[in-house]
A and B are shown apart, each in its own frame.
Chain A
C-alpha cells in the first residue's frame, strides 16, 4: 500500500502558485519523498525529491516539515501545461532493493 495521502483534486488559477500537500506520517528516517507528475496517457515525469531539507529546482520547490510527516510541492507560477496528476511517493526499502509505491495522486487543474 502507498505510504502517502493526497487530496484527490485541486484547482489553481493560471499564473498563481500551486501548493500540493502530502501526508506521510509513517515515513522512516532514511526514506526519501519523491514527486512525479503524469500527463494523460504519458509516462510519469520526475519533478523533485528530498530527504530532510527543503529543495528547489527549475520546476518546483519541495517543503518538508521538520518532523518529516508531511510535505508540500510548490509550482511557483502554474501554467495550463501543468495540468496533470501529481504523485507524492515515499521510496520504500525492501530486501531486494528500493522501489516507488504510487498512490492515487492529486489531479491538478490549472484554469485560465
Chain B
C-alpha cells in the first residue's frame, strides 16, 4: 500500500546533538512538508518542498535543515541551534502544491532531548 513512513517513532537524543528524522513516501507526490506539534497545540510548518532539489522555509525554520535529493525522501535535521527541540514531528506530502490538493500525513516521530 502507498503511504508515508516516518522513522523512528520515538527518538531520544542528548542536548547539543544533531538528529535527523526520516520521511519516505511512495505515493509519487511532488510536494512534501514538515510540521512540528507541541502538546495541546496545532501544527506549525517548518519546511516544505514543491519539487526535488528545492525547498522553502516555513514559519519556524530556525534550528532546522532539510534536503530533497530524491522525490520520495525529505529528511529533517534538528540541529543544536534549535532551542527547544522536544516535540512531535509530522511529515506530509501532496500530489502538487495546488490549493485543491489534500495532504497525506505520516504517523509522526516523537523527539525527546534530554
Contacts and interface: CB of A to CB of B under 8 A. Distances in A.
Interface residues of B, number: 30
Given A100-B33, A102-B42, 12 more contacts: A42-B107, A43-B90, A43-B106, A44-B103, A49-B102, A96-B56, A97-B48, A97-B56, A99-B48, A100-B45, A100-B103, A102-B35
A94 B44 CA distance: 16
Contact of A43 (B44, B102, B107): B107
Chain A interface size, as a band, is: 20 to 34
Given A2-B42, A87-B42, A105-B42, A98 B97 contact: yes
B114 interface: no
A41 B43 contact: no
Interface stretch (A14-22, A28-36, A72-80): A28-36
B17 interface: no
A32 B106 CA distance: 22
A32 B100 contact: yes
A93 interface: yes
Contacts of A31: 99
Interface in A97-112: 97-105
A104 B39 CA distance: 11
Interface string A61-102: 000000000000000000000000001000101101111111
